Amino acid sequence: MLKIAIILGSTRPGRKGEAVAKWVYEIAQRRGDADYELVDIKDFNLPLLDEPMSPMMGQYTHQHTKDWSAKIASFDAYVFVTPEYNHAIPAALKNAIDFLYHEWVNKAAGFVGYGGAGGARAVEQLRLVMAEVQIATVRNQVLLSMFTDFENFSVFKPASHHEKSVNAMFDQVIAWGGALKTLREKRA
C-alpha cells in the first residue's frame, strides 16, 4: 500500500487549516486504498532554515531536521493543505519544504487550497516550488472558498460537492504515486 501524507501547511493559533486537513483525512480514511497520515508541520517546531549545508547534500546537523527528514522520507506521495497568505503559501510551509530535498524527489502531490479565491494563487505558486524538488503534481485539486465553505468566514462547513473533488484528486495522487514508486524502486 502507498503511504500518503496529508500535510497541514498553516501553523498559526486559531488556524482554519486544522479543520480542513481533518476533513481531507476523514475522506481519505473512508477510501481504504492507501495508508494515510495527517502530518502537522507545527509538530516539528522547525525554526527558519538553520542548516549550514544545502539540503541537496543531505547532511543535517539538527535533530528537528532529522526528524522532519525521516517523516517526509517515509511517504510515497503528499497532499498539501494550504491557505493563501498574500497570494502565496504560508512562509511556514515554504520553510518546511526548503529544509529537505531528496526526501521529496520522484514523489507525487495533490493540493487542497482555501482562501478568498479558494487558495488558487497559493496552489499555483506551490506547483512551481514542487517542480524544483521534483515532485509531480496532479491536475485535480480542491479549492475551498472562505465565502461559501466557511460559515461567517469562520466555521468550516464545506459544500457537499467538494468531497467528489477530494476523491478525484486522491485517485490521481494514488495513480502517479504508484508509478513513481515503481520508478524509484527500479533506480534503487
Ligand X SMILES: Cc1cc2nc3c(=O)[nH]c(=O)nc-3n(C[C@H](O)[C@H](O)[C@H](O)COP(=O)(O)O)c2cc1C
- Contact set with ligand X (CB under 6 A): 10, 12, 15-17, 83-87, 115-117, 146
Shortest distance in whole angstroms from residue 17 CB to ligand X? 3
Provide the minimum distance between the beta carbon of 147 and ligand X in the complex, in angstroms, as a whole number: 10
Q: Given the complex with ligand X, which of 55 and 115 has the nearer CB atom?
A: 115
Q: What is residue 58's DSSP assignment?
A: -
Distances (CA, A) of 164 to 140, 147, 159: 11, 20, 10
* Residue 21 or 34 having the CB closest to ligand X: 21
Q: Which is nearer to ligand X, 78 or 176 (CB)?
A: 78
Rounded CA gap, 32 and 11, in Å? 28
Least separation in angstroms between CB 40 and ligand X: 11
Sign of torsion, CA 99 105 109 111?
Answer: positive
Written as one letter, the residue type at 123 is V
